[in-house]
Every structure is written in C-alpha cells, then in structure tokens.
Structure 1
Amino acid sequence: MSEDSTEILRIALVQSDLYWEDVTANLSSLEEKIAGIGEAVDVIVLPEMFNTGFTMNSALAEPMNLTTTKWMKQIAAQTQALVVGSFAVSEAGHFYNRILCVRPDSTLFYSDKRHLFTLGKEHLAFQPGMKRLTVDWKGWKITPLICYDLRFPVWSRNSASDPYDLLIYVANWPSKRAHAWNTLLKARAIENQCYVAGVNRIGEDGNGLKYQGDSAALDYLGEPACMLGDSDVIKIARFSKTDLKEYRTSFPVLADSDQFTIG
C-alpha cells in the first residue's frame, strides 16, 4: 500500500433524522453531530440528500461549489476524513441527485444516481448518471452509489481486474421496504467480495414516508460489523485491508465472474 495508506479503515456512519427542505437546519444539525464523534475517522458517510431530505423540488438544487459543497469541504478539513453524501445539484439547465466524495484538501469527486426512482417520480426531476465512480483514499478503493442503485447488481458489479474494496450506499429508504434494504446490502457484500456501508435516514419526511434507519456496515461475508437500528446515532466501523486480501486470495470468486461492459 502507498505511504499514506491505512490497514484499518475507520468509517463513521451518520444516521440522522432530516429537516424537510431546510438546508440551513440540516447542515447545522449534522455539523454538531459530527463534531461529537470524539475520535479520528477516515471516512464520514451521510444519508442521501442529507441537506433537504428526498425531495423532487428542483428549486432546492444548488450549483456545485456553493453552500453544501463548501460545507462538505469544511467538514472534511476539520475532521481530516473523506466526506461522502448526496444532494440535488443544478448544472447546465439540468438537475442531478449527485454523490460527492470530498477529501480534506478540498479535492472532490462525484457521480450521479444511475437508477432514478420512477415510483417517486424522481425521473421527472433529475437526469440519470452515466458513469460509476471509484475513489482512491488511504490505499483503499471506494465506490459510492445512491439508494435505488442498490436494487441493480449489474451497476454495483465488482471488477476482477481492478476491484474496489468498499461499496457505499447513501439512502432515504422507507421503512415499508426495510427487508429489501437489509437483504440487498448483504447480497452486494457477498457477491462482490467487498465491505459494504449503507447509510439511511430515520424519521418522517414531508411526503409522510417513514424511515427506520437500519444503517449498517458489513464485511465481505455479509456479516455485520456495525448495526445502527432505528436510533439517531453515529457509529464507527473498522475494516481490515489484510483480512479482505486474505479472503479474496483463499476464495477467488471474482476471478470466475462474467466479463462485460455496461453500455
């Protein structure tokens, strides 16, 4: 691993209720919660649309590098962690549910939600993403995806030639579909031989949808490293790079996987 790499990756899962369509309140609340973590972490993961809740109100979309982007840069600098979360972005007359990964030096990487939730009319408000992102951070390869993407294993598929180590899902996943959330997080970990971190919100949104959280960190066997239940809480998971490499070597499933390119 590189000079700045780490054997143990410490990930803070931020499970929180969200103020409906209130950017100022959400950023203030989350900043206070993050300040209370109390120990150094390498990655901080926030829910989907952490600054507004899951709204199709495109009037709340921000251009890049304004309020929410600057806030993420500030949090990354203060914590010296990679900060991960999605919010609505406006760009060239279009709108995107965009996930950002922001490093402490303000370098940022992003991709857009590939699978838009048509049942919630997300496809009428936002444009779908066309590229999947992998970020190198402290010797780890991290792929972040958004909520509904969890249901589509092809888009999440790991690569035998250049595998990622950690798959992150940020979400506003309603309680009535909690069984699918919990089952699919395990499936993605097992089939891709990777660690998985899924961060969901709690509470009730402005559309009356209820969320029970169930944020979780899972190892490559689909076994829980950390479970958050339905509390407003931050928990830290610790993942071992050596353990992951040894497991992949002893049971090289990825080498036998189908090779294909997504169009």
Structure 2
Amino acid sequence: MYPTLNLALIQTYLHWEKPEANRKMFEDKIAGISHDVDLIVLPEMFTTGFTMNPDVIAKEESEITVQWMHTIAQNNNAAVMGSIVYREEDAFYNRLFFVSPDQEMYTYNKRHTFTLAGENEVYKAGNQKLIFEYKGFKICPMICYDLRFPVWARNTENYDILIYVANWPKKRINAWDTLLKARAIENMSYSIGVNRSGIDELGFEYPGHSAIYNVLGEPLVFSRNEEILYAKLHKEHIENTRNKLKFLEDRDTFNLIK
C-alpha cells in the first residue's frame, strides 16, 4: 500500500516581533484543527514577522520556540515545521525547524537571503540543502526567496515534496503563484507554499495565496483567506506519474560550486 500524508497549512497574520503572542496564537489555531494531520506547516519567521531587527528579540526566545515546537508535535501527534529568527552565538539565522512527534528534528538555514530588504546584512546564509524522510515521503524544505532560484531546488535527489514557508508580499504575488507551480512541474514533485496574511508594521501587505500543486502542476488547495488549509498527499500519484512520464530521467547533471 502506498503511503499518504495529511497536511494542515496555517495561513495567518503575525504579531510583529512578539514571539510569545505568536506562539499563543498558533497554539490556539492548532487546537482548532478539525482533521487528522501528520504535518502542520507554519509561515516564515512565524514568531516575529519578517523583521530585520533580530537584536530586539530576547536571546532565550530561539530555544523557547524550539521547545514549544517539540511540545506541539508531541501533544498533537503531528510534525510541525516553520522558520524563526534563530540566534547562534553572535550570528542570526532565518532557520527552519522540522520537529516530529517522536522528537526527531531537522534544520535548514535559508540559502538565499533577501537582499532587497537587507536580509543578507543581518542574517547569515546557509549553504546546505536539506532532504529528510517522514512517513514514507522525502521532503525538501526551503524558505521564501529560495523560490526564485530553481537550480537550488532542482530535484536531483528524487524528493517527493518541496515546501516553501514565506512572508511574500502582495506586490510580487504573481511571481509566487507562477514559481510555485513551475517548481512542481519541473521537479515532478508536490510543491507547497505557506504564506502569511495581513499587514506588517512596515506597511507591507501579505495576501496569502498558500497553495499545493501536484506533480503535474495542478492545484489541490489555494486560499487568500486567514484559515487552515488541509490536503492529503499520495505517494502513488508521484510514482505513477514519474513511471509514465520519465522526465526526471532526462534532467541535466551539475554540481554547485558555491
């Protein structure tokens, strides 16, 4: 029997630079999940919003949030994923965490820091792509601006699911919609984007547009509203499509040198 994966994507506003308030908000929303789920996905920098002032966040907040994610995963018997402002000694990272109910944890540091907002001057960029297995699926998580760089996401590892967590603004939302779909088609994988909604303290508006596309680039869910989106992913869909359409076998081979 082929495995399936039940997802809950939480699309919501964020309290600006208020980790405790955001944890409480997400805790309440997660308590209201109405389906059996295996993985809960939160937006980018889900405890602060897309802040370029990480120094205003108390040093202990990084580990408090990681422990909170462990508790959420255990209490809900579901993995939880999202990125946060993470302080490591004198450096800051936009770091994604995946925590499973059995306390397995993976991390990914955002590779492409957003130069237009000066993120590259504040946060240290990562250089390691992450692929991990969960419930029979190989998952590749990435963060927001990474979406614009298809070489970094190229499916040379035969992953099944590509997930982007984001704070993607309304003024460039057409690019988000187009590139999420393109990543599904070119990589023959599920492509998932979880964006925030609302307006932040800097006046940027975020319209949601969280979505899931299947291996053929067909939309499974899409929303502009503040809500929880649900979907069931099927390994059978991936394998049957790839066996019929062997496009990945014709992909170019390459090595990243930087």
TM-score normalised by L of structure 2: 0.96
CA drift of 1:61 comes to 6.8
CA drift of 1:63 comes to 6.1
SS at match of 2:87: strand
Aligned equivalents of 1:61 and 1:216: distance in 2? 33
Where does structure 1 lack aligned partners over 5 or more consecutive residues? Answer: none
User: 2:49 maps to which residue?
Assistant: 53
User: 1:14 maps to which residue?
Assistant: 10
Aligned equivalents of 1:244 and 1:61: distance in 2? 43
Mapped contact 2:62–2:87 kept (Cα < 8 A): no
User: 2:240 maps to which residue?
Assistant: 246
Aligned equivalents of 1:50 and 1:232: distance in 2? 14
Q: Is 1:109 aligned to residue 103 of structure 2?
A: no
Q: Is 1:165 aligned to residue 155 of structure 2?
A: no
Q: Deviations over 1:39-69 (max 9, x none)?
A: 2101111000000000011222756972110
SS at match of 2:37: coil
Aligned equivalents of 2:248 and 2:150: distance in 1? 14
CA drift of 1:15 comes to 0.2
Q: Is 1:42 aligned to residue 42 of structure 2?
A: no
Tell me the matched-pair count: 256
Aligned equivalents of 1:220 and 1:241: distance in 2? 10
Aligned equivalents of 2:107 and 2:191: distance in 1? 19
Give identity over the alignment, percent: 48
Mapped contact 1:63–1:89 kept (Cα < 8 A): no
User: 1:87 maps to which residue?
Assistant: 84
Q: Is 1:192 aligned to residue 177 of structure 2?
A: no
Q: Is 1:211 aligned to residue 210 of structure 2?
A: no
CA-based RMSD = 1.4
Structure 1 62/134 Cα, relative in aligned 2: closer, same or farther at 3 Å? farther
SS at match of 1:66: helix
User: 2:65 maps to which residue?
Assistant: 68
Mapped contact 1:62–1:88 kept (Cα < 8 A): no
Mapped contact 1:63–1:91 kept (Cα < 8 A): no
AA aligned opposite 2:74: A
User: 1:96 maps to which residue?
Assistant: 93
Q: Is 1:262 aligned to residue 256 of structure 2?
A: yes
- Structure 1 outlier segments of 4+, above 4 Å: 61-65
Alignment of 1:18-33 (within 5 A): 18-33=14-29
TM-score normalised by L of structure 1: 0.94
AA aligned opposite 1:179: N
